[in-house]
Amino acid sequence: MSSGIITNPSAPQVKPAIIEALRGIAVPLLSDNLHRNRGSIGLSPYHIPAPLVGTAVTVRTRGGDNLAVLRAYDYCRPGDVMVIDAEGDLRNAIFGGIMSFAAYSLGLAGMIVDGAIRDIAEIGARTFPVYARGVSHRGPYKDGPGEINVPISVGGMVVCPGDIVVGDQDGLCAFSPDIAQSVIEKALVQRQNEEATMQVIRDGRWNRSFVDALEARCMN
């Protein structure tokens, strides 16, 4: 009897230079330069703070079932991020300590699931990035169906195979490698501007006259 798992080849990996450049940029800076509408909502980090940057290998699975997730390891390479759309279901954990450790051992850059995980004390003692919607001690089913390397949605964020996924303690964002260089350049400029603003505040010279213009714009 078929499990109904549909598989597709993994997309090309993002260039190492892009990955390294993004590793030092905070997610809010990237989000601000992605129209502030491409980040996930409701997914939290469960690991010791550490940056997440990698190429998306996507999985769509029935809530509470991880058969497609187990198969997806065969499509992951070192540096990939396994991104799992589990329908936001919190009744059964999709993975826990063993599967996340296996991902780390295979060189994955992290795991993300719009669903539940378990063994959070174990996961929380590691720097290997794990993001999830919630926690359930109840284990997963292994019956399928599922899909690998198809467009998915996690936390309201669309992720396509081969997208760049970046995460930190503020959350997650994903975008196409085609726009990576532009996003990086804009984020770095914004970081410089923010650092300059912080210095102005330290010096007691923060001019808030811009608030008048913002308020006037909102008046009917």
pLDDT, one tens digit per residue, over 73-107 is: 999 999 999 999 999 999 999 999 999 999 999 99
**Can you give the pLDDT at residue 56?**
99
The single-letter DSSP state of residue 179 is G
Q: Is the pTM of this model over 0.75?
A: yes
pLDDT tier at 219 (50, 70, 90 boundaries)?
confident
Tell me the backbone φ, ψ of residue 9, rounded to 5 degrees. -60, 150
- Does the pLDDT at position 220 exceed 90? no
Q: Are strands 44-45 and 130-135 parallel, antiparallel or unpaired?
A: antiparallel
- Does the pLDDT at position 31 exceed 90? yes
CA distance 81 to 136: 22
What residues have CB less than 8 Å from 142, skipping those under 6 apart? 65, 66, 67, 70
- Does the pLDDT at position 123 exceed 80? yes
**Can you give the pLDDT at residue 2?**
52
CA distance 16 to 83: 19
State the Cα angle at 159 between 156 and 163, rounded to 5°. 145
Strand partners, 56: 81
CA distance 85 to 96: 16
CA end-to-end span of the chain, whole Å? 64
Radius of gyration of the chain (CA): 19
**Can you give the pLDDT at residue 1?**
37
Exposed e or buried b for every residue in 23-41, given b needs 16+ CB within 10 A? Answer: eebbbbbbbebbeeebbbe
Strand (E) positions, 3-51?
5-7, 44-45
CA distance 80 to 83: 9
The single-letter DSSP state of residue 178 is G
Which amino acid belongs to residue 93?
A
CA distance 143 to 202: 58
- The whole-chain average pLDDT of the chain stands at 96
Q: Which residue has the tokens 């065969």?
A: 74
Q: What percent of the chain lies above the pLDDT cut of 90?
A: 93
For residue 159, give both structure tokens: 């992720």
Across 185-214, average pLDDT:
95
